[in-house]
Structure 1
Amino acid sequence: MNVLWRTILVLFRARRRHRRGDTLAYDDIGRIRLTTLPTDIDLLRHMNNGRYLSLFDLGRWDFTTRTGLSDVFRDNGWYAVVANETISFRRSLQLWQRFELETRWLGYDDRALFLEHRAIVGSEIAARAVIRARILRRGGGSVTHDELFSAMGISGGFPEVPAWVHDWAAAASLPSTRQSAPRDWQDTPRRG
Protein backbone atom coordinates (compact mmCIF):
# COMPACT_ATOMS: atom_id res chain seq x y z
CA MET A 1 0.00 0.00 0.00
CA ASN A 2 2.90 2.34 0.77
CA VAL A 3 4.12 2.44 -2.85
CA LEU A 4 0.57 3.12 -4.08
CA TRP A 5 0.39 6.31 -1.98
CA ARG A 6 3.87 7.33 -3.12
CA THR A 7 2.82 6.74 -6.76
CA ILE A 8 -0.23 8.95 -6.35
CA LEU A 9 1.93 11.66 -4.75
CA VAL A 10 4.58 11.45 -7.51
CA LEU A 11 1.91 11.61 -10.23
CA PHE A 12 0.24 14.60 -8.57
CA ARG A 13 3.55 16.47 -8.30
CA ALA A 14 4.62 15.53 -11.84
CA ARG A 15 1.32 16.72 -13.34
CA ARG A 16 1.53 19.97 -11.38
CA ARG A 17 5.11 20.54 -12.55
CA HIS A 18 4.15 19.73 -16.14
CA ARG A 19 1.23 22.21 -16.04
CA ARG A 20 3.56 24.89 -14.64
CA GLY A 21 5.99 24.40 -17.53
CA ASP A 22 8.56 22.34 -15.63
CA THR A 23 8.73 19.75 -18.40
CA LEU A 24 11.41 17.38 -19.60
CA ALA A 25 12.63 16.67 -23.12
CA TYR A 26 12.86 13.02 -24.05
CA ASP A 27 16.65 13.13 -23.87
CA ASP A 28 16.69 14.83 -20.44
CA ILE A 29 17.31 13.12 -17.12
CA GLY A 30 14.35 13.06 -14.74
CA ARG A 31 15.13 13.51 -11.05
CA ILE A 32 12.99 13.05 -7.96
CA ARG A 33 13.96 12.99 -4.27
CA LEU A 34 12.96 10.02 -2.15
CA THR A 35 13.56 8.80 1.38
CA THR A 36 14.03 5.23 2.57
CA LEU A 37 10.99 4.61 4.78
CA PRO A 38 10.47 1.94 7.46
CA THR A 39 8.28 0.01 4.98
CA ASP A 40 11.25 -0.14 2.54
CA ILE A 41 13.74 -1.87 4.82
CA ASP A 42 14.35 -5.56 5.50
CA LEU A 43 15.66 -7.48 8.51
CA LEU A 44 19.19 -6.22 7.81
CA ARG A 45 17.93 -2.65 8.35
CA HIS A 46 18.65 -1.41 4.84
CA MET A 47 16.41 -1.05 1.78
CA ASN A 48 15.10 -4.40 0.65
CA ASN A 49 16.49 -5.36 -2.74
CA GLY A 50 12.98 -5.94 -4.13
CA ARG A 51 11.86 -2.44 -3.14
CA TYR A 52 14.33 -0.69 -5.47
CA LEU A 53 12.48 -1.75 -8.62
CA SER A 54 9.14 -0.69 -7.11
CA LEU A 55 10.56 2.74 -6.27
CA PHE A 56 12.19 3.02 -9.70
CA ASP A 57 8.64 2.82 -11.10
CA LEU A 58 8.12 6.21 -9.46
CA GLY A 59 10.89 7.64 -11.61
CA ARG A 60 9.19 6.31 -14.75
CA TRP A 61 5.85 7.82 -13.71
CA ASP A 62 7.50 11.20 -13.16
CA PHE A 63 9.50 10.98 -16.40
CA THR A 64 6.60 9.92 -18.65
CA THR A 65 4.33 12.58 -17.15
CA ARG A 66 6.81 15.46 -17.38
CA THR A 67 7.89 14.57 -20.94
CA GLY A 68 4.25 14.39 -22.04
CA LEU A 69 4.65 10.73 -22.97
CA SER A 70 1.79 9.76 -20.65
CA ASP A 71 -0.47 12.09 -22.69
CA VAL A 72 0.69 10.38 -25.90
CA PHE A 73 -0.13 7.00 -24.37
CA ARG A 74 -3.56 8.15 -23.17
CA ASP A 75 -4.48 9.84 -26.46
CA ASN A 76 -3.55 6.75 -28.50
CA GLY A 77 -4.76 4.01 -26.16
CA TRP A 78 -1.22 2.73 -25.55
CA TYR A 79 0.57 1.58 -22.43
CA ALA A 80 4.05 0.36 -21.49
CA VAL A 81 4.95 -2.97 -19.91
CA VAL A 82 8.31 -4.04 -18.55
CA ALA A 83 9.73 -6.97 -20.54
CA ASN A 84 13.12 -7.28 -18.80
CA GLU A 85 14.89 -5.59 -15.95
CA THR A 86 18.19 -5.97 -14.20
CA ILE A 87 19.64 -4.17 -11.22
CA SER A 88 23.09 -3.81 -9.72
CA PHE A 89 23.77 -2.68 -6.16
CA ARG A 90 26.82 -0.78 -5.02
CA ARG A 91 25.89 0.71 -1.65
CA SER A 92 22.99 0.07 0.74
CA LEU A 93 20.37 2.72 1.39
CA GLN A 94 19.70 3.02 5.13
CA LEU A 95 16.51 3.88 7.00
CA TRP A 96 15.52 7.57 6.57
CA GLN A 97 18.30 8.10 4.03
CA ARG A 98 17.44 10.61 1.33
CA PHE A 99 18.46 9.83 -2.21
CA GLU A 100 17.84 11.11 -5.69
CA LEU A 101 16.27 8.86 -8.30
CA GLU A 102 17.45 9.60 -11.84
CA THR A 103 15.64 8.28 -14.92
CA ARG A 104 16.62 8.51 -18.58
CA TRP A 105 15.98 6.81 -21.90
CA LEU A 106 18.90 4.72 -23.11
CA GLY A 107 17.63 3.84 -26.58
CA TYR A 108 15.77 1.03 -28.29
CA ASP A 109 16.06 -2.28 -30.10
CA ASP A 110 13.78 -3.80 -32.74
CA ARG A 111 10.88 -4.36 -30.28
CA ALA A 112 11.36 -2.30 -27.13
CA LEU A 113 12.70 0.83 -25.45
CA PHE A 114 15.42 0.87 -22.79
CA LEU A 115 15.51 3.08 -19.70
CA GLU A 116 18.07 3.50 -16.98
CA HIS A 117 17.40 4.32 -13.32
CA ARG A 118 19.99 5.33 -10.76
CA ALA A 119 19.69 5.77 -7.00
CA ILE A 120 22.14 8.58 -6.18
CA VAL A 121 23.47 9.47 -2.72
CA GLY A 122 25.51 12.66 -2.79
CA SER A 123 27.37 12.33 -6.08
CA GLU A 124 27.71 8.53 -5.97
CA ILE A 125 25.61 5.79 -7.57
CA ALA A 126 24.15 3.43 -4.96
CA ALA A 127 22.19 1.25 -7.40
CA ARG A 128 21.46 1.15 -11.13
CA ALA A 129 18.75 -0.64 -13.08
CA VAL A 130 18.22 -1.12 -16.80
CA ILE A 131 14.64 -1.64 -17.94
CA ARG A 132 13.42 -2.94 -21.31
CA ALA A 133 9.82 -1.87 -21.95
CA ARG A 134 7.40 -2.67 -24.75
CA ILE A 135 4.64 -0.33 -25.87
CA LEU A 136 1.30 -2.08 -26.41
CA ARG A 137 -2.16 -1.11 -27.64
CA ARG A 138 -5.14 -1.43 -25.31
CA GLY A 139 -6.97 -3.15 -28.17
CA GLY A 140 -4.12 -5.66 -28.62
CA GLY A 141 -0.83 -5.73 -30.48
CA SER A 142 2.39 -3.74 -30.30
CA VAL A 143 3.10 -0.13 -31.20
CA THR A 144 5.85 0.26 -33.78
CA HIS A 145 8.75 2.59 -33.09
CA ASP A 146 7.79 4.69 -36.13
CA GLU A 147 4.28 5.20 -34.68
CA LEU A 148 5.66 5.99 -31.24
CA PHE A 149 8.34 8.41 -32.43
CA SER A 150 5.87 10.16 -34.75
CA ALA A 151 3.35 10.60 -31.91
CA MET A 152 6.15 11.89 -29.67
CA GLY A 153 7.30 14.37 -32.32
CA ILE A 154 10.75 12.80 -32.50
CA SER A 155 12.63 12.46 -35.75
CA GLY A 156 15.62 10.16 -35.74
CA GLY A 157 14.59 8.21 -32.64
CA PHE A 158 16.72 7.60 -29.59
CA PRO A 159 20.44 6.92 -29.47
CA GLU A 160 21.79 3.41 -30.00
CA VAL A 161 22.14 1.48 -26.76
CA PRO A 162 25.46 -0.08 -25.74
CA ALA A 163 26.17 -3.57 -27.10
CA TRP A 164 26.09 -5.14 -23.63
CA VAL A 165 22.46 -4.03 -23.22
CA HIS A 166 21.49 -5.85 -26.43
CA ASP A 167 23.39 -8.94 -25.23
CA TRP A 168 21.66 -8.81 -21.83
CA ALA A 169 18.20 -8.39 -23.39
CA ALA A 170 18.76 -11.35 -25.72
CA ALA A 171 20.11 -13.56 -22.94
CA ALA A 172 17.37 -12.64 -20.44
CA SER A 173 14.37 -12.82 -22.78
CA LEU A 174 11.73 -15.51 -22.57
CA PRO A 175 9.93 -16.87 -25.65
CA SER A 176 7.03 -14.90 -27.09
CA THR A 177 3.59 -15.64 -25.65
CA ARG A 178 2.82 -17.25 -29.02
CA GLN A 179 5.55 -19.83 -28.41
CA SER A 180 5.90 -22.58 -25.87
CA ALA A 181 7.84 -21.88 -22.67
CA PRO A 182 7.97 -25.21 -20.83
CA ARG A 183 8.75 -25.20 -17.15
CA ASP A 184 11.39 -27.93 -17.47
CA TRP A 185 14.82 -27.16 -16.05
CA GLN A 186 16.57 -28.85 -18.96
CA ASP A 187 19.25 -26.20 -19.31
CA THR A 188 20.32 -26.46 -15.66
CA PRO A 189 22.49 -29.34 -14.44
CA ARG A 190 20.95 -31.18 -11.50
CA ARG A 191 22.85 -32.44 -8.52
CA GLY A 192 21.80 -35.56 -6.62
Structure 2
Amino acid sequence: MNLYFRLLLFMLRVRLRSRLSIWDTSHVTFRVNPGDLDVQRHMNNGRYLTLMDLGRMDLMVRSRFWQRVTEKGWYPVVAGQTITYRRSLQLWQRFDLASRVIGHDERWIYMEQVFRRDDELVADAVVRARFLRRSGGSVPMDEVLALARPLPEDLELPDWVTEWNEGSSRHGREL
Protein backbone atom coordinates (compact mmCIF):
# COMPACT_ATOMS: atom_id res chain seq x y z
CA MET A 1 0.00 0.00 0.00
CA ASN A 2 2.79 2.44 0.76
CA LEU A 3 3.98 2.18 -2.86
CA TYR A 4 0.61 3.41 -4.13
CA PHE A 5 0.74 6.33 -1.69
CA ARG A 6 4.32 7.12 -2.75
CA LEU A 7 3.33 6.87 -6.43
CA LEU A 8 0.36 9.21 -5.93
CA LEU A 9 2.53 11.81 -4.16
CA PHE A 10 5.22 11.41 -6.79
CA MET A 11 2.80 11.95 -9.70
CA LEU A 12 1.42 15.08 -8.03
CA ARG A 13 4.91 16.49 -7.39
CA VAL A 14 6.38 15.68 -10.82
CA ARG A 15 3.82 17.81 -12.62
CA LEU A 16 4.89 20.86 -10.59
CA ARG A 17 8.60 20.50 -11.30
CA SER A 18 10.55 22.31 -14.01
CA ARG A 19 10.67 20.97 -17.55
CA LEU A 20 13.61 18.93 -18.83
CA SER A 21 14.77 17.57 -22.14
CA ILE A 22 14.75 13.78 -22.44
CA TRP A 23 18.55 14.16 -22.78
CA ASP A 24 18.92 15.99 -19.43
CA THR A 25 19.58 14.40 -16.04
CA SER A 26 16.59 14.09 -13.73
CA HIS A 27 17.12 14.33 -9.97
CA VAL A 28 14.49 13.07 -7.52
CA THR A 29 14.85 13.18 -3.74
CA PHE A 30 13.42 10.41 -1.59
CA ARG A 31 13.53 9.45 2.07
CA VAL A 32 13.80 5.87 3.33
CA ASN A 33 10.55 5.01 5.09
CA PRO A 34 9.68 1.97 7.24
CA GLY A 35 8.07 0.14 4.29
CA ASP A 36 11.38 0.30 2.40
CA LEU A 37 13.30 -1.72 4.99
CA ASP A 38 14.26 -5.37 4.92
CA VAL A 39 15.05 -7.65 7.89
CA GLN A 40 18.53 -6.11 8.13
CA ARG A 41 16.85 -2.70 8.72
CA HIS A 42 18.28 -1.06 5.61
CA MET A 43 16.57 -0.30 2.32
CA ASN A 44 15.60 -3.52 0.55
CA ASN A 45 17.49 -4.22 -2.68
CA GLY A 46 14.21 -4.61 -4.58
CA ARG A 47 13.04 -1.18 -3.46
CA TYR A 48 15.93 0.40 -5.35
CA LEU A 49 14.53 -1.08 -8.57
CA THR A 50 11.05 0.22 -7.77
CA LEU A 51 12.36 3.72 -7.12
CA MET A 52 14.35 3.55 -10.35
CA ASP A 53 10.99 3.18 -12.15
CA LEU A 54 9.96 6.49 -10.58
CA GLY A 55 13.23 8.13 -11.61
CA ARG A 56 12.69 7.12 -15.22
CA MET A 57 9.08 8.30 -15.02
CA ASP A 58 10.24 11.68 -13.66
CA LEU A 59 12.51 12.18 -16.68
CA MET A 60 9.86 11.11 -19.17
CA VAL A 61 7.04 13.18 -17.65
CA ARG A 62 9.09 16.33 -17.14
CA SER A 63 10.44 16.16 -20.70
CA ARG A 64 6.93 15.50 -22.04
CA PHE A 65 8.32 12.40 -23.71
CA TRP A 66 5.79 10.33 -21.76
CA GLN A 67 2.94 12.31 -23.29
CA ARG A 68 4.30 11.79 -26.81
CA VAL A 69 4.80 8.02 -26.45
CA THR A 70 1.38 7.45 -24.88
CA GLU A 71 -0.27 9.47 -27.66
CA LYS A 72 1.39 7.05 -30.11
CA GLY A 73 0.09 4.06 -28.13
CA TRP A 74 3.56 3.02 -26.94
CA TYR A 75 4.82 2.02 -23.54
CA PRO A 76 8.32 1.36 -22.16
CA VAL A 77 9.52 -1.99 -20.86
CA VAL A 78 12.71 -2.80 -19.00
CA ALA A 79 14.47 -5.75 -20.59
CA GLY A 80 17.61 -5.84 -18.47
CA GLN A 81 19.35 -4.03 -15.68
CA THR A 82 22.37 -4.31 -13.50
CA ILE A 83 22.89 -2.55 -10.20
CA THR A 84 25.85 -2.29 -7.86
CA TYR A 85 25.14 -1.55 -4.21
CA ARG A 86 27.99 0.33 -2.54
CA ARG A 87 26.49 1.64 0.73
CA SER A 88 23.34 1.02 2.75
CA LEU A 89 20.48 3.44 3.18
CA GLN A 90 19.00 3.54 6.68
CA LEU A 91 15.57 4.56 7.98
CA TRP A 92 14.70 8.25 7.38
CA GLN A 93 17.82 9.00 5.37
CA ARG A 94 17.31 11.34 2.42
CA PHE A 95 18.89 10.44 -0.89
CA ASP A 96 18.96 11.60 -4.50
CA LEU A 97 18.28 9.46 -7.55
CA ALA A 98 19.78 10.78 -10.78
CA SER A 99 18.52 9.32 -14.08
CA ARG A 100 19.76 9.97 -17.61
CA VAL A 101 19.80 8.41 -21.06
CA ILE A 102 23.35 7.35 -21.91
CA GLY A 103 22.77 6.03 -25.40
CA HIS A 104 21.04 3.60 -27.70
CA ASP A 105 21.76 0.94 -30.24
CA GLU A 106 19.57 -0.41 -33.03
CA ARG A 107 17.23 -2.08 -30.52
CA TRP A 108 17.60 -0.63 -27.01
CA ILE A 109 17.69 2.63 -25.06
CA TYR A 110 20.17 2.63 -22.16
CA MET A 111 19.86 4.66 -18.99
CA GLU A 112 22.17 5.22 -16.07
CA GLN A 113 20.65 5.70 -12.61
CA VAL A 114 22.69 6.70 -9.58
CA PHE A 115 21.69 6.86 -5.91
CA ARG A 116 23.58 9.34 -3.71
CA ARG A 117 23.29 10.28 -0.06
CA ASP A 118 24.80 13.76 0.27
CA ASP A 119 27.76 13.44 -2.11
CA GLU A 120 28.36 9.76 -1.32
CA LEU A 121 27.66 7.13 -3.98
CA VAL A 122 25.18 4.56 -2.64
CA ALA A 123 24.28 2.51 -5.73
CA ASP A 124 24.57 2.78 -9.49
CA ALA A 125 22.66 0.99 -12.22
CA VAL A 126 22.31 0.61 -15.97
CA VAL A 127 18.94 -0.17 -17.50
CA ARG A 128 18.20 -1.52 -20.98
CA ALA A 129 14.70 -0.72 -22.25
CA ARG A 130 12.63 -0.52 -25.37
CA PHE A 131 9.17 0.60 -26.40
CA LEU A 132 6.29 -1.63 -27.37
CA ARG A 133 3.04 -0.82 -29.16
CA ARG A 134 -0.21 -1.42 -27.32
CA SER A 135 -1.44 -2.91 -30.59
CA GLY A 136 1.48 -5.37 -30.51
CA GLY A 137 5.11 -5.43 -31.55
CA SER A 138 8.21 -3.39 -30.86
CA VAL A 139 8.72 0.20 -31.89
CA PRO A 140 11.76 0.55 -34.19
CA MET A 141 14.52 2.68 -32.70
CA ASP A 142 14.40 5.23 -35.53
CA GLU A 143 10.75 5.98 -34.62
CA VAL A 144 11.64 6.38 -30.93
CA LEU A 145 14.54 8.70 -31.76
CA ALA A 146 12.35 10.76 -34.11
CA LEU A 147 10.10 11.47 -31.11
CA ALA A 148 13.12 12.44 -28.98
CA ARG A 149 14.64 14.96 -31.41
CA PRO A 150 16.79 16.93 -31.41
CA LEU A 151 19.43 14.33 -30.60
CA PRO A 152 22.58 15.40 -28.76
CA GLU A 153 25.59 15.48 -31.06
CA ASP A 154 27.88 13.84 -28.50
CA LEU A 155 25.61 10.91 -27.58
CA GLU A 156 27.63 7.74 -27.99
CA LEU A 157 26.93 4.50 -26.16
CA PRO A 158 29.91 3.72 -23.90
CA ASP A 159 31.84 0.54 -24.79
CA TRP A 160 31.34 -0.90 -21.30
CA VAL A 161 27.54 -0.75 -21.80
CA THR A 162 27.83 -2.59 -25.11
CA GLU A 163 29.98 -5.24 -23.42
CA TRP A 164 27.48 -5.57 -20.56
CA ASN A 165 24.60 -5.93 -23.02
CA GLU A 166 26.39 -8.61 -25.05
CA GLY A 167 27.37 -10.48 -21.89
CA SER A 168 23.91 -10.27 -20.35
CA SER A 169 22.29 -11.81 -23.41
CA ARG A 170 24.54 -14.89 -23.08
CA HIS A 171 24.46 -15.13 -19.27
CA GLY A 172 22.53 -18.01 -17.74
CA ARG A 173 22.15 -20.02 -20.92
CA GLU A 174 24.15 -22.93 -19.49
CA LEU A 175 21.84 -23.54 -16.50
1-side partners of 2:62 and 2:3: how far apart?
A: 20
Gaps of 5+ in 2: none
1-side partners of 2:154 and 2:70: how far apart?
A: 21
Shift of 1:146: 1.6
Alpha-carbon spacing, 1:116–1:14, altered in 2? closer, same or farther (3 Å): same
Shift of 1:8: 2.1
Q: Normalising by structure 1, report the TM-score.
A: 0.84
What do residues 54-92 of structure 1 show as CA deviations (whole Å, max 9, x unaligned)? 111111111110011101111100110000011001110
SS in 1 for 2:29: strand
Alpha-carbon spacing, 1:157–1:14, altered in 2? closer, same or farther (3 Å): farther
SS in 1 for 2:15: helix
Q: 2:43 matched to 1:47?
A: yes
Count of matched residue positions in the alignment of Structure 1 and Structure 2: 175
1-side partners of 2:144 and 2:173: how far apart?
A: 39
What do residues 95-139 of structure 1 show as CA deviations (whole Å, max 9, x unaligned)? 110001111111111201001111111112100111000111111
Shift of 1:16: 2.7
Q: 2:2 matched to 1:6?
A: no
| Pairwise CA RMSD | 1.9
The partner residue of 1:148 within 130, 144, 150 is 144
Alpha-carbon spacing, 1:186–1:154, altered in 2? closer, same or farther (3 Å): closer
Alpha-carbon spacing, 1:156–1:46, altered in 2? closer, same or farther (3 Å): closer
Q: 2:110 matched to 1:123?
A: no
Aligned positions of 1:1-192 closer than 5 A: 1-17=1-17, 22-155=18-151, 159-173=155-169, 187-188=174-175
Look at both structures and tell me which one has the larger radius of gyration over its CA atoms: 1
SS in 1 for 2:125: strand
Shift of 1:26: 2.0
Determine what percentage of the aligned residue pairs are the same residue. Answer: 43
2-side partners of 1:8 and 1:44: how far apart?
A: 28
**Residues 88 and 128 of structure 1 are in contact (CA less than 8 Å); yes or no, is this contact kept in structure 2?**
yes
**Residues 56 and 99 of structure 2 are in contact (CA less than 8 Å); yes or no, is this contact kept in structure 1?**
yes
Alpha-carbon spacing, 1:156–1:90, altered in 2? closer, same or farther (3 Å): closer
**Residues 107 and 158 of structure 1 are in contact (CA less than 8 Å); yes or no, is this contact kept in structure 2?**
no
Letter in 2 for 1:61: M
Alpha-carbon spacing, 1:157–1:70, altered in 2? closer, same or farther (3 Å): farther
Letter in 2 for 1:8: L
**Residues 116 and 122 of structure 2 are in contact (CA less than 8 Å); yes or no, is this contact kept in structure 1?**
yes
Shift of 1:170: 1.7
Return structure 1 stretches of 4+ with deviation > 6 angstroms.
none
What do residues 26-74 of structure 1 show as CA deviations (whole Å, max 9, x unaligned)? 2211011100111111111111111110111111111110011101111
2-side partners of 1:159 and 1:24: how far apart?
A: 17
